Amino acid sequence: MTLIDFETYRWDAQNCVRCSNCRWVDFIWMASLQFSKICPSSARYGFDAYAAHGRLEIALALANGELEWSPKVLEEIYTCTLCGACDVKCLRNVGLEPTQTLEWMRQKAVDDGQGPMPEHKAVAENIANNRNRYGTPNDNRGKWLRSDARPVQKADVLYFVGCNSSFKQQQIAQATAKLLNASGTEFMILGEQEWCCGNQLYNVGLVDQAREMAEHNLKAIEESRAKTVVASCAECYQTLKVIYPKLMGKSTTDLGFEVLHITEHLDQQLQNGKLKFTAPVNMRVTYQDPCRLGRMSEPWTHWEGKRGKYGIFDPPKPRRKGTYGAYDPARNLLNAIPGLQVEEMERRKDQAWCCGASGGVRDAFKELALWSARERIEEAKEVTGAEAIISACPYCKENFTEVITADKERLQTLDITEIMLQAISPEGKEAC
> Residue numbers of the site for another protein (CB under 8 A)?
11, 14-21, 23-24, 26-33, 36, 46-49, 51, 53-55, 57-58, 61, 66-68, 70, 72-73, 76, 88-89, 91-95, 295, 308-314, 316-317, 319, 321-323, 325, 327, 349-351
Nearer to ligand SF4, 102 or 281 (CB): 102
Residue 86 binding result from ligand SF4, another protein, none, given CB thresholds of 5 to 8 Å by partner type = ligand SF4
The residue range among 12-20, 148-156, 213-221, 405-413 that interacts with ligand SF4, by the rule CB under 6 A, is 12-20
Length of the chain: 432
Distance CA 174, CA 44 (A): 36
Nearer to ligand SF4, 77 or 326 (CB): 77
Distance CA 136, CA 126 (A): 8
Strands 157-160 vs 228-231: parallel, antiparallel or unpaired: parallel
Nearer to ligand SF4, 2 or 20 (CB): 20
Distance CA 408, CA 151 (A): 37
Distance CA 356, CA 369 (A): 4
Distance CA 136, CA 171 (A): 18
Q: What is the DSSP string of 134-176?
A: T-S-GGGGGGG--TT----SS-SEEEE--HIIIII-HHHHHHH
Least Cα distance to 210 among 239, 234, 184, 182 occurs for 239
Among 7, 14, 19, 70, indicate the residue that binds ligand SF4 (CB under 6 A). 19
Nearer to ligand SF4, 98 or 329 (CB): 98
Distance CA 73, CA 82 (A): 16
The residue range among 46-54, 65-73, 106-114, 298-306 that interacts with ligand SF4, by the rule CB under 6 A, is 46-54
Cβ atoms < 10 Å from Cβ of 17? 11
Among 4, 62, 74, 85, indicate the residue that binds ligand SF4 (CB under 6 A). 85
Q: Which ranges constitute the DSSP H helices of 225-278?
A: 234-238, 244-248, 262-271
CB 141 within 8 A of CB 194: yes
The residue range among 2-10, 47-55, 205-213, 247-255 that interacts with ligand SF4, by the rule CB under 6 A, is 47-55
The residue range among 81-89, 227-235, 256-264, 325-333 that interacts with ligand SF4, by the rule CB under 6 A, is 81-89
Distance CA 289, CA 298 (A): 14
In whole angstroms, the minimum distance from the beta carbon of 52 to ligand SF4 comes to 4
Nearer to ligand SF4, 82 or 207 (CB): 82
**The amino acid at 289:** D
Among 8, 37, 41, 217, indicate the residue that binds ligand SF4 (CB under 6 A). 41
Distance CA 361, CA 79 (A): 6
* Residue 79, φ and ψ in degrees, nearest 5: -85, 50
Among 37, 53, 108, 362, indicate the residue that binds ligand SF4 (CB under 6 A). 53
Residue 349 binding result from ligand SF4, another protein, none, given CB thresholds of 5 to 8 Å by partner type = another protein
Exposed, middle or buried by CB within 10 Å (0-12, 13-18, 19+), for 2? middle
Binding flag, residue 99, ligand SF4 (CB under 6 A): yes
In whole angstroms, the minimum distance from the beta carbon of 312 to another protein comes to 5
Nearer to another protein, 154 or 306 (CB): 306
Nearer to another protein, 82 or 218 (CB): 82
Among 81, 114, 138, 413, indicate the residue that binds ligand SF4 (CB under 6 A). 81
Residue 76 binding result from another protein, ligand SF4, none, given CB thresholds of 5 to 8 Å by partner type = another protein
Cross-strand pairs, 189: 159
Binding flag, residue 18, ligand SF4 (CB under 6 A): yes
Nearer to another protein, 16 or 197 (CB): 16
In whole angstroms, the minimum distance from the beta carbon of 354 to another protein comes to 15
Binding flag, residue 234, ligand SF4 (CB under 6 A): no
Total chain residues near ligand SF4 (CB under 6 A) = 29
Q: What is the DSSP string of 379-409?
A: HIIIII--SEEEESSHHHHHHHHHHHHHHT-
Strand (E) or helix (H) holding 54 = helix 52-63
In whole angstroms, the minimum distance from the beta carbon of 23 to ligand SF4 comes to 7
Which residues bind to ligand SF4, rule: CB under 6 A?
Answer: 16-22, 39-42, 51-53, 56, 80-86, 89-90, 94, 96, 98-99, 102
